[in-house]
Amino acid sequence: MEHDTAVVPPSTNAASSAGPDDGLAPWGWLKTPKGWTRLAEWLFSVIMFATMADVNGFDNYSEFKYQVACGVLVWLYVTTIMLCYIFRRSVERHCLYMPVIELAFDGIFCVMLLAAGAAAASQCNKDIGPPGFSVKLCSDAPTTIKNKLKSSIVFAFFTLLAMIGSTWFSYKENVAEERKR
């Protein structure tokens, strides 16, 4: 009795081993929730550091400088990660620990963003001036400056929330990678 054995050509085998986003490469990552959170992080971090850096005369406070620095660092990190997503196939060939590295940096930047937003918010509500004549920094500032400071603080927390989402997706990706091994 003969067995019907099908020979699978190499081209079919290569197509079956391709990832789900290979047909969309290099932009397949945009269709994932992690891709959308990365785009949100990128936009929020630009708004966060640009509005804070645009405030004249208030850059003398280290808390505001720290928020600008965190915003720039997050923006650079997210830009780098998005470039890695675009060239993901070649990056994964050279760096097998990309999900672990991404998870570690996401966690570090979550802590930095929380500290930056909290420090800037506390500085904004701090009393300045001599006792009896003290004023709140953000309350008594001109409206344009007050709005820029407050919007920068709000976008720091928006960036933090998006970064927490990315951290969660990175964690889930790590768990999936570990189950494959």
pTM above 0.85, yes or no: no
d(CA 91, CA 104): 17
* In-domain check, residue 15: no
Per-residue pLDDT at 159? 95
Helix (H), strand (E) at residue 137:
none
Task: Return phi, psi of residue 8, to 5°.
Answer: -90, 120
* In-domain check, residue 170: yes
d(CA 35, CA 85): 9
Write out pLDDT tens, residues 22-76. Answer: 545 677 777 888 888 999 999 999 999 999 988 877 687 888 899 999 999 999 9
Per-residue pLDDT at 20? 46
Query: How many folded domains does the chain comprise?
Result: 1
* In-domain check, residue 101: yes
* In-domain check, residue 7: no
What is the extent of the structural domain holding 28? 22-180
* In-domain check, residue 13: no
CA atoms 90, 171, 106, 34: torsion sign: positive
Per-residue pLDDT at 25? 61
Query: What's the pLDDT band for 138 if we cut at 50, 70, 90?
Result: confident
Write out pLDDT tens, residues 106-126. Answer: 999 999 999 999 999 998 888
16, amino acid identity: S
